[in-house]
Amino acid sequence: MSPTPASRAPIDRLTTMLLPGIKEGRAASAQAYMKTSQPFLGVPMPVLRATTREFVRILGAVSASERLELATGIWDEATHREHWYAAQEICAAASCCGRLEFLPLYERMILEGAWWDIVDGCVKNYGKLLLAHPGVVGLLMRQWSDDGFMWKRRQSMICQLHLADATDTTLLDATLLANLDDPEFFIRKAVGWALRQYGRTDPAWVRAWVHAHRGQLSPLSLREALKHLGETHR
């Protein structure tokens, strides 16, 4: 006897709900663009987000602990990239923001995702954790800023992208300085991105920082940092 809908594993129920949203040809193009061995179903992100919200509603996963359990299960059993995206969406609810019990799962996302889409998808979660637990998460980001794992270093620099006036500039300065000499594209891009974004809040701080370290900044980082400040990177 086949399982009833209520008894099916969450990953199977999610997949069944995502299937009608597949856009023809998108799976192959998305995988080629992302350059990942993990396959895609081919579901556009707006459809994925809406479907994930409905999936959570049907399951009745309201509390933070329920969402953590659900997201962890989806992450563990993922067969396609959209499953990982859905796990991140499940953790994006207000009830989950700033809760330290989610930190081990977020770290797994960095370690196991190990690519820019997954790492960058964790930015808001890490930023909210930093605001809620600056001592714990700030220390962790300092440790990550010179970690041997590149994606931890990237997260340490970009975790404050959305914090605006709440940005800890001492932490930002420390994480950027720890990575100035790294030749890796994704690190250099992160240096410039972090500066460019904070420049929207405090352009004077960014201009001063760039002036002080211009000789060490790569052309890519410099170009990104100054993109919206009306200055040349040459």
Residue 12 and residue 64 in one domain: yes
Tokens linked to 128: 């909210």
Alpha carbon distance 171, 142 (integer Å)? 7
Instruction: Calculate ∠ Cα 216-221-226, nearest 5°.
Output: 105
**Length of the chain measured in residues:** 234
- Is residue 107 exposed (0-12), middle (13-18) or buried (19+ Cβ within 10 Å)? middle
Alpha carbon distance 123, 104 (integer Å)? 15
Question: Of the candidates 120, 102, 100, 101, which has an alpha carbon nearest to the alpha carbon of residue 110?
Answer: 120
Region 114-127: mean pLDDT is: 97
Confidence of residue 234 (pLDDT cuts 50, 70, 90): low
Amino acid 233: pLDDT: 52
Residue 72 and residue 143 in one domain: no
Q: What is the pLDDT of residues 188-232, one digit of tens each?
A: 999 999 999 999 999 999 999 999 999 999 999 999 999 988 765
Domains identified in the chain, total number = 2
Give me the chain's average pLDDT, please: 94
Region 50-54: mean pLDDT is: 97
Amino acid 1: pLDDT: 38
Region 179-186: mean pLDDT is: 96
Residue 92 and residue 147 in one domain: no
Confidence of residue 39 (pLDDT cuts 50, 70, 90): very high
* pTM for this prediction: 0.92
Q: What is the CATH number of the domain that holds 18?
A: 1.25.10.90
Region 48-68: mean pLDDT is: 95
Q: What percent of the chain has pLDDT over 70?
A: 95
Q: What is the CATH number of the domain that holds 139?
A: 1.25.40.290
Region 111-129: mean pLDDT is: 97
Is residue 109 in a domain?
no
Q: Is the pLDDT of residue 50 over 70?
A: yes
Residue 197 and residue 143 in one domain: yes
Tokens linked to 97: 């923001």
Is residue 21 in a domain?
yes
Is residue 103 in a domain?
no
Is residue 65 in a domain?
yes
Amino acid 230: pLDDT: 76
Q: What is the pLDDT of residues 130-159, one digit of tens each?
A: 999 999 999 999 999 999 999 999 999 999
CA atoms within 13 A on the CB side of 223: 5
Q: What percent of the chain has pLDDT over 90?
A: 93
Amino acid 2: pLDDT: 41
Alpha carbon distance 28, 45 (integer Å)? 15
Region 96-100: mean pLDDT is: 96
Residue 70 and residue 27 in one domain: yes
Amino acid 165: pLDDT: 97
Is residue 234 in a domain?
yes
Is residue 108 in a domain?
no
Residue 58, domain extent: 1-96
Is residue 106 in a domain?
no
Amino acid 228: pLDDT: 84
In the numeric block, the tokens 């999610």 are attached to 14
Confidence of residue 62 (pLDDT cuts 50, 70, 90): confident
